[in-house]
Amino acid sequence: MDDDVNARLADEYRAARQRTSAIAGELDDDQAALLVPACPDWTVADLLAHVTGLASDLGSGRRPEGDTQAWVDAQVADRRGRTPADIAAEWGDAAPAFEEMIAAKPHRWWGLVYDELVHEHDLRGAVGRPGERDGESVQVAVTLGMRLVEADLAKHGLPAFRLVADGTERVVGDGPPELTLEATSFEALRLLGSRRTIAQLRSADFTGDLDHYLPGLVHMDLPTVDLRE
């Protein structure tokens, strides 16, 4: 399964980029300035600057030195004041080189494919344009998200975790799973991608001791206001 997914990652990244860029090209100045509820430190334009900056730097051979957060912050700051369409045009120019890198070494760059697949829905939520929730891209994103869960389970010494999304079962970790989540694939992506508040996590269909598992399921700060998507 992982080999099949890895073989598709460059294509999935490209398709998500094209969908995201198409939305960007239709946004006006007011929409560009909207805060992204899933990433409240960023505006819509900032989010586009983030994904563009990653592709531009990495595709050009520029790697972070030292603090990766400072590197990411600089990518966003450097593009402030530009329109979403202009930023997306840069992304389109820079992305082919990065997509070749993904195709050559998917095991290295899968995390940034996951990042783009998640951010597509962050953008859609911010500008009120939901879509692509039932397609293959979400299935790929869930598979990649479960890789993060597997690594964090091991890091924190937690047992295996079981996900049943749209009737498909995925288990990651060692030993018998002691926590199960049943959800749609899209909701699983958002729950396991730190796009739901702790209250929303606790109201989801988990079976087992969720609080015990939180270090393995929460990869970044959770929203403080419920995201309704």
Which CATH number does the domain 136-217 belong to among 1.10.150, 1.10.287, 3.40.1130, 3.30.1050?
A: 3.30.1050
Enter the tokens of residue 73: 């912050």
Residue 9 predicted with pLDDT over 60: yes
pLDDT at 67: 82
Q: Provide the 3-class DSSP secondary structure of residue 136.
A: helix
16 token code pair: 């998500």
What are the domain boundaries of the chain? 2-127, 136-217
The pLDDT value given to residue 198 = 97
Residues in the chain: 229
Q: In this prediction, what percent of the chain has a pLDDT beyond 70?
A: 100
Q: How confident is the model at residue 157 (pLDDT cuts 50, 70, 90)?
A: very high
What pLDDT digit, counting tens, does each position of 134-154 carry?
Answer: 989 999 999 999 999 999 999
For the stretch 162-178, pLDDT in tens is 999 999 999 999 999 99
| Widest Cα–Cα separation across the chain | 52
Residue with the two structure tokens 């990653």: 54
Identify the pLDDT of residue 1.
Answer: 52
Distance of CA 103 to the CA centre of its chain: 19
List pLDDT tens digits, range 18-60: 999 999 999 999 999 999 999 999 999 999 999 999 999 999 9
Beta bridge partners of 170: 163
pLDDT of 158 strictly over 90: yes
Q: Is the pLDDT of residue 110 over 60?
A: yes
Mean pLDDT of 202-228: 96
pLDDT of residue 65 exceeding 90, the answer is no
**2 pLDDT band (50/70/90 cuts)?**
confident
Cα angle 145-220-225, degrees, rounded to a multiple of 5: 105
pLDDT at residue 66, rounded to an integer: 78
Of 146, 144, 175, 181, residue with least CA distance to 158? 175
Which uninterrupted H or E stretch holds 182?
Answer: strand 179-183
Mean pLDDT computed over 63-84: 92
pLDDT tier at 82, thresholds 50, 70, 90 = very high
Q: Which CATH number fits domain 2-127: 1.10.3470, 1.20.120, 2.60.120, 2.60.40?
A: 1.20.120
Q: Provide φ and ψ at 36, rounded to 5°.
A: -90, 110
Q: pLDDT value at position 64?
A: 81
